């Protein structure tokens, strides 16, 4: 099992030396990024920095963008937009869930019906439960002597 799966991404657990090692940066660089507002770790009661796994990922992203030649101002804008997208996606999920709950709770939107076997099913309004279809074969009556019908039961004339 991956240790990142077991811990909360937002739990501030790493001191600056560990965060610097995990991100591949010098601790002074992390302090500078904190002053610039690029990556702002949580502070303890004693004012020491504590970095979360999300902060480490963000520091790695800053390093990658810097290596590609993006300025610190550009990196700040990119991180701001990424955070905004993450927040908006969460909000969209909340609204979709609320809308689905609202639609299901409206009167007349759901009905209950009994199937042929007696089971009760929930359906959308205006939808009928499907009935099992059976195919029944009927054989044509055999021709009787003196009857003018052929073997199919149709008049032979």
Which has the closest alpha carbon to 116: 99, 101, 129, 127? Answer: 129
pLDDT at 150 over 90: no
Q: What is the CATH number of the domain that holds 63?
A: 1.10.1660.10
Q: What is the pTM of this model?
A: 0.56
Q: Which residues pair with 124 in a beta bridge?
A: 110
pLDDT value at 108 more than 90: no
Q: Is 126 within a domain?
A: yes
Q: Which domain holds residue 56?
A: 14-76
The number of folded domains in the chain is 2
Residue 36 and residue 25 in contact, taking contact as beta carbons nearer than 8 Å: no
- In whole angstroms, give the CA distance from residue 28 to residue 142: 102
Residue 15 has pLDDT above 70, yes or no: yes
Report yes or no on 81 lying in a domain. no
Taking a C-beta distance cutoff of 8 angstroms, is the pair 80, 61 a contact?
no
Residue-wise pLDDT for 56-104, tens only, equals 999 999 999 999 999 999 999 999 999 899 999 999 999 999 998 888 7
DSSP string, 25-42: S-HHHHHHHHHHTSS--E
**Coil vs helix vs strand at 92:** helix
Q: Cα separation of 27 and 57, whole Å?
A: 16
Most confidently modeled range among 4-8, 94-98, 111-115? 94-98
Q: Which string of b and e fits 14-32 if b means at least 16 CB within 10 Å? A: bebeebbebbebeeebbee
The reply to whether 151 falls in a domain is no
Is residue 2 assigned to a domain?
no
Of 57, 76, 95, which residue sits at a domain end?
76
């Amino acid at each position: 099992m991956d240790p990142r799966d077991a811990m909360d991404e937002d739990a501030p657990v790493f001191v600056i030396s560990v965060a610097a090692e995990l991100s591949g940066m010098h601790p002074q660089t992390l302090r500078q990024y904190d002053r610039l507002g690029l990556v702002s770790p949580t502070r303890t009661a004693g004012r020491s920095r504590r970095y979360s796994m999300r902060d480490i990922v963000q520091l790695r992203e800053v390093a990658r963008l810097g290596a590609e030649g993006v300025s610190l101002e550009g990196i700040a804008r990119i991180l701001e937009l990424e955070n905004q997208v993450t927040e908006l996606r969460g909000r969209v999920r909340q609204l979709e869930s609320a809308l689905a709950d609202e639609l299901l709770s409206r009167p007349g939107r759901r009905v209950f019906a009994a199937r042929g076997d007696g089971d009760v099913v929930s359906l959308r309004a205006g939808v009928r439960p499907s009935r099992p279809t059976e195919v029944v074969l009927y054989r044509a009556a055999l021709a009787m002597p003196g009857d003018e019908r052929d073997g199919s039961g149709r008049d032979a004339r």
